[in-house]
């Protein structure tokens, strides 16, 4: 059951595959990222990190560092600004309660213990290499299996972390078919192209920060609380981000250190994390161990699921990888028990990473369902169809809009699924085994309050501003399209300004909520500006539209015109001049109401994958992938397709390559570079296709749009693992699926 409202009217700009309006700035180098901030003669800071996982500092020798030409100062816990520890709060989203450089305590390998400040980057690096820190070390706890402290949080981000319904234990034991397997996923790191960076400057008691952040307002709140300032005394600027994927969503210690260094030296300070530091200093995806027990009838209808998830977190912060969340709501199962546990370890704090919870959870659940299909001797796609949920099983609420069955059908037809043989190892192409796999994609539709300002200038300009962000996702472009649709202006003629905490409020660029939150606010602001323009144009004596009613006027070609007599037209710039105010300025807002009490909001999709495996070379590759998605209205066909392709590529990396490895004795990351931490490159990616089942979800917001940033990765790893089984007859439940695991599994058969 779902509720689908009438398709909204459009002037034709929303939905078009318009090129990115910020594309020229990016390819020509005009786009300024955090480290490019136009600050004259900044000092440079380089962070020094702890080389033990647990203990304390007993001595710091700064002599050789201070002897380096160009070194200005060394910031340690001896001379750092005293700031409070901030427990996580969405109003001030600090990821770690451990404030930086406040004591001699060491809680994890890679913890910031000093910053060397110098006139040049080279001098700061050289000075940092010469700083000598002596430690008293204690044996760290690094393995979740041996953790002394394991917690089961009742809630996480406002949702039940231990959901349960029915009597799953009894239903599982009574089931005709039972699956009981454990699936593991490793630590993974975000690795955006742009490392985290901050330029901090104090001006007359005010703090101005250029930061690579997904949440300028959240960053502002933490900085203000840390330094005891009113928020109006802090400005955070981030017009462009070179990727983030969650690691820049909450607040990390390095902006505080940059601001401390600027305060200490009374000069602007630039601090850029190295690639190695990105593996310890701004979060990661927690490893997970997921035991899944499925009980079903012989025809593959689920009767019970028990999903137990063990993840990790640090001693100085909390993040729960809620991998069981997808299990509680995706399929029609009467009996479910999901548990989430976190092992407290001497490690850095994990954080949200693209589709947190859903990415590893959909891997385990998708694989278990494929195992169920195999045990029942039926097509895996039939198992997905037969357990389709018409209403949200976790709440009992109808979905606002759900077209998952259509995703299955369109995907199966486009992929050629009907020709797939049931038996493993039944498909070959030359010397390669071929396998096909399928899995379900899903991600919740989220929305937060947002505002936007639209200004029509006397020179004919149109300006849109909001404190939202563009991580490379296309926000500049879609906001221009939304405003263009309301005003009848070419999107390329609209200036969009974002990424500044002084602009109207917007939420974190996370949870795939930016389009659904900020888009309607821009729509509202543009409509308000449009109505004000009509009021002036119909009342001013010198206007060709004088005396007409609002319903007799339409927007077109950068202004207004009569519907009946198109020659009676006037440009927005002329309307502004007639009004005499210098500009028409409108503030728009949008926020969720009580619809969440009546409806459940989610996006859905189906992932189809083909793999090829050369047994002689132990070479495994994804040769074809297809994603079909139900995500509401699509605002830009080109950028949306790009987002989904990126998500599928990330899923390929998750399944076959990505793994962060720590030294099991000391806790140091040993894969802290792109030589050892493998991500997909062009040679790894073959044909990828994306289809949309586009139905606007007007029950969710006035634009009918749901976010698409994260759903693309969900289900991909499961579809690949299932395809590997279909090709080889070998089940691998431990990511990543690398050649040595395949060879070992084949040898064991």
pLDDT tens track for 230-275? 999 999 999 999 999 999 999 999 999 999 999 999 999 999 999 9
Q: Does residue 114 form part of some domain?
A: no
For 462-488, write each residue's pLDDT tens digit.
Answer: 999 999 999 999 999 999 999 999 999
Burial of 702 (0-12, 13-18, 19+ CB in 10 A): middle
Which one from 287, 659, 695, 710 is the annotated catalytic residue? 710
Query: Is 585 known to be catalytic?
Result: no
Q: Does residue 87 form part of some domain?
A: no
Q: Which of 544, 573, 591 is the last residue of a domain?
A: 591
Residue 291's CB is within 10 A of a number of other CB atoms, namely 16
Contact 500, 37 (CB under 8 A): no
The pLDDT of residue 10 is: 53
Q: Does residue 307 form part of some domain?
A: no
Same-domain check for residues 529 and 492:
yes
The pLDDT of residue 12 is: 86
What pTM was estimated for this model as a whole? Answer: 0.97
The pLDDT of residue 3 is: 42
Same-domain check for residues 408 and 484:
no
Same-domain check for residues 460 and 560:
yes
Query: What's the CATH code of the domain at 501?
Result: 3.30.365.10
Domain region containing 456? 23-31+448-591
| Domain count along the chain | 2
Q: Does residue 516 form part of some domain?
A: yes
Same-domain check for residues 586 and 601:
no
Same-domain check for residues 572 and 613:
no
For 382-398, write each residue's pLDDT tens digit.
Answer: 999 999 999 999 999 99
Same-domain check for residues 573 and 674:
no
The pLDDT of residue 65 is: 98
The pLDDT of residue 260 is: 98
The pLDDT of residue 90 is: 86
Q: Does residue 248 form part of some domain?
A: no
CA distance 115 to 261: 8
Same-domain check for residues 453 and 509:
yes
Query: Any idea which residue has 């300002």 for tokens?
Result: 453
Same-domain check for residues 631 and 743:
yes
Same-domain check for residues 437 and 378:
yes
Q: Which of 536, 556, 591 is the last residue of a domain?
A: 591
Same-domain check for residues 428 and 556:
no
Q: Does residue 36 form part of some domain?
A: no
Q: Which of 591, 623, 651 is the last residue of a domain?
A: 591
Burial of 158 (0-12, 13-18, 19+ CB in 10 A): exposed
Give the chain's residues under pLDDT 70: 1-11
Same-domain check for residues 438 and 458:
no
The pLDDT of residue 122 is: 98
Nearest to residue 597, comparing CAs of 442, 401, 400, 448? 400
Q: Does residue 268 form part of some domain?
A: no
Q: Does residue 531 form part of some domain?
A: yes
**DSSP sequence for 657-726:** T--B-B-TTT--BS--STTTS----GGG--EEEEEE-----TTT-TT-B---TTGGGTTHHHHHHHHHHH
CA distance 568 to 574: 13
Same-domain check for residues 452 and 467:
yes
């Amino acid at each position: 059951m779902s509720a689908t409202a009438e398709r909204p009217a459009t002037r034709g700009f929303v939905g078009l595959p318009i090129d990115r309006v910020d594309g020229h700035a990016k390819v020509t180098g005009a786009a300024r990222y955090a480290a490019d901030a136009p600050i004259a003669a900044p000092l440079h800071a380089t962070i020094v990190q702890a080389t033990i996982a647990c203990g304390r500092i007993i001595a710091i020798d700064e002599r050789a560092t201070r002897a380096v030409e160009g070194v200005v100062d060394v910031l340690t816990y001896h001379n750092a600004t005293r700031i409070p520890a901030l427990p996580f709060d969405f109003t001030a989203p600090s990821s770690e309660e451990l404030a930086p450089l406040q004591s001699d305590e060491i809680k994890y390998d890679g913890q910031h213990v000093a910053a060397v400040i110098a006139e040049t980057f080279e001098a700061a690096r050289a000075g940092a290499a010469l700083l000598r820190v002596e430690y008293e070390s204690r044996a760290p706890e690094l393995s979740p299996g041996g953790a002394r402290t394991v917690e089961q949080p009742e809630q996480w981000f406002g949702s039940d972390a231990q959901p349960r319904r029915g009597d799953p234990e009894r239903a599982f034991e009574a089931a005709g078919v039972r699956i009981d397997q454990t699936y593991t996923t490793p630590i993974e790191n975000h690795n955006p192209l742009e490392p985290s960076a901050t330029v901090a400057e104090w001006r007359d008691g005010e703090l101005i920060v250029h930061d690579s952040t997904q949440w300028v307002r959240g960053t502002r709140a933490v900085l203000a609380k840390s330094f005891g300032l009113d928020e109006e005394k802090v400005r955070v600027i981030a017009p462009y981000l070179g990727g983030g994927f969650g690691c820049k969503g909450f607040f990390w210690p390095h902006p505080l250190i940059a601001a401390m260094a600027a305060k200490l030296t009374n000069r602007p300070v630039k601090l850029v994390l190295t690639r190695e530091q990105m593996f310890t200093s701004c979060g990661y995806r927690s490893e997970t161990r997921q035991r899944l027990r499925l009980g079903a009838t012989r025809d593959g209808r689920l009767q019970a699921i028990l999903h137990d998830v063990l993840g990790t977190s640090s001693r100085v912060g909390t993040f729960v990888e809620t991998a069981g969340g997808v299990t509680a709501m995706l399929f029609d199962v009467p009996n479910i028990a999901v548990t989430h546990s976190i092992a407290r370890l001497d490690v850095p704090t994990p954080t949200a990473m693209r589709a947190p919870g859903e990415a590893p959870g959909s891997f385990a659940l998708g694989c278990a369902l494929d195992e169920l299909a195999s045990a029942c001797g039926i097509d895996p796609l039939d198992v997905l169809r037969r357990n389709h949920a018409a209403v949200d099983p976790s709440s009992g609420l109808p979905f606002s809009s759900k077209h998952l069955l259509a995703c299955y059908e369109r995907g199966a037809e486009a992929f050629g699924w009907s020709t797939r043989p049931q038996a493993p190892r039944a498909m070959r192409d030359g010397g390669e085994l071929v396998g096909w796999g399928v899995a379900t994609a899903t991600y919740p539709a989220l929305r937060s309050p947002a505002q936007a300002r639209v200004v029509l200038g006397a020179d004919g300009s149109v300006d849109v501003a909001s404190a939202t962000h563009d991580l490379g996702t296309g926000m500049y472009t879609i906001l221009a399209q939304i405003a263009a649709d309301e005003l009848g202006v070419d999107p390329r003629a609209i200036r969009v300004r974002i990424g500044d905490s002084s602009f109207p409020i917007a939420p974190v660029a996370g949870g795939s909520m930016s389009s659904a939150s900020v888009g309607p606010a821009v729509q509202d602001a543009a409509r308000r500006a449009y109505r004000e323009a009509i009021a002036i144009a119909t009342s001013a004596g010198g206007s060709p539209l004088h005396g007409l009613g609002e319903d007799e006027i339409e927007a077109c070609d950068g202004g207004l015109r009569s519907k009946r007599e198109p020659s009676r037209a006037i440009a927005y710039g002329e309307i502004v001049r007639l009004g005499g105010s210098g500009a028409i300025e409108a503030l728009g807002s949008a926020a969720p109401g009580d619809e969440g009490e009546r409806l459940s909001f989610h996006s859905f999709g189906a992932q189809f994958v083909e793999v090829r495996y050369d047994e002689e070379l132990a070479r495994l590759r994804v040769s074809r992938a297809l994603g079909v998605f139900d995500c509401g209205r699509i605002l830009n066909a080109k950028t949306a397709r790009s987002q989904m392709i990126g998500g599928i590529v990330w899923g390929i990396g998750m399944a076959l390559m990505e793994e962060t490895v720590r030294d099991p004795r000391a806790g140091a990351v040993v894969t802290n570079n792109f030589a050892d931490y493998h991500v997909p490159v062009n040679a790894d990616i073959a044909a990828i296709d994306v289809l949309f089942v586009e139905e606007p979800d007007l029950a969710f917001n006035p634009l009918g749009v749901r976010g698409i940033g994260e759903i693309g990765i969900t289900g991909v790893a499961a579809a690949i693992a299932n395809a590997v089984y279909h090709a080889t007859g070998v089940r691998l439940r431990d990511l990543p699926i690398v050649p040595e695991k395949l060879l070992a599994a084949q040898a064991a058969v």
